[in-house]
Chain A
Amino acid sequence: MSHEAGHEHPSNRVYIVIAAVLAVLTALEVMVFYVQALRPMLLPILMVLMVAKFALVVMFFMHLRFDSKLLTGVFLWGLFIAVSIVLALMAIFGKFVG
């Protein structure tokens, strides 16, 4: 870990490992998309992979894991409202029915 501006940042080696994991997760997403046997489980599997990739970028590349908790709060509040908007509108327009 290198020390910059009062908080720890990962080393280049960690960044490269995270990028490799992101590439593997993307490959897994596409593989799941093409495997017919996994079709019934497509939505939950893709959601888990998507959230994992999202979290890796935000925590390591954007350094939220190492920065002030205030920044995490500012981001998560906006994200919470965004996800709420999406889910509420989808519910209102009947996307969860049938």
Chain B
Amino acid sequence: MSHHTSTDVPTRKLAMWSFIGSECMLFGTLIATFMIYRGRNIVGPYPSDLLNIPFITVTTFVLLMSSLMMVLALSAVQRGDLKGTKLWLFMTALFGLIFLAGQFYEFSHFVHEGLPLSRNLFSSTFFVLTGTHGAHVAGGVLWLGTLFVRTQQGKLDERNAETVEIAGLYWHFVDVVWIVLFTLIYLLV
């Protein structure tokens, strides 16, 4: 059931957009810290020694495509197509998990190559920034998992499609944050 504010905007949607606005500020401060300390490492390994652009391009593509799966899930639930809803919710969560696996591999590789969290300015800012983003992806995967289970139980259909739309807003926000991080961290190295 959708509750509307006096502005005729659904309450939960307005709340999610307010949350997203505040999340912009959170990531803004982390990005600012990363940019300030970029290129100021005293000791190596340096970013250019470790960043694997082809690998991260693949995981970026996976996350971008997960956004497509998410809108297809929303479209399916709005049409009352519950089979399609379950399929696309599952695919979105699966692509999110693949992205997280890629991030776990990247972090492990960095540590193995002598770049733990406290090694230099790059490692500290890189791990905190991408780790915070990864935690958001993990939260999104859990959220999608609960929606999948609720659809499976018959508790989610076209009457409460807004629930899927709200989760979708969060998921797409996680995607747009990565669009920015991919450029600033990996391509402008």
Contacts and interface: CB of A to CB of B under 8 A. Distances in A.
A83 B28 contact: yes
Given A50-B183, A70-B9, A4 B188 contact: no
The binding surface of chain B is classed by DSSP as helix
B53 A33 contact: yes
Q: Is the interface of A mostly helix, strand, loop or mixed?
A: helix
**What interface size band does chain B fall in?**
35 or more
Interface in A77-93: 77-79, 81-83, 85-86, 89-90, 93
Given A22-B64, A86-B31, A70 B7 contact: yes
Interface of B: 2, 7-10, 13-14, 17-18, 20-25, 27-29, 31-33, 35-36, 38, 53, 57, 60-61, 64-65, 67-68, 70-72, 74-75, 78-79, 161-162, 165, 168-169, 172-173, 175-176, 179-180, 182-183, 187-188
The 4 A-B residue pairs whose C-beta atoms are closest, nearest first, are A78-B21, A82-B28, A19-B68, A78-B24
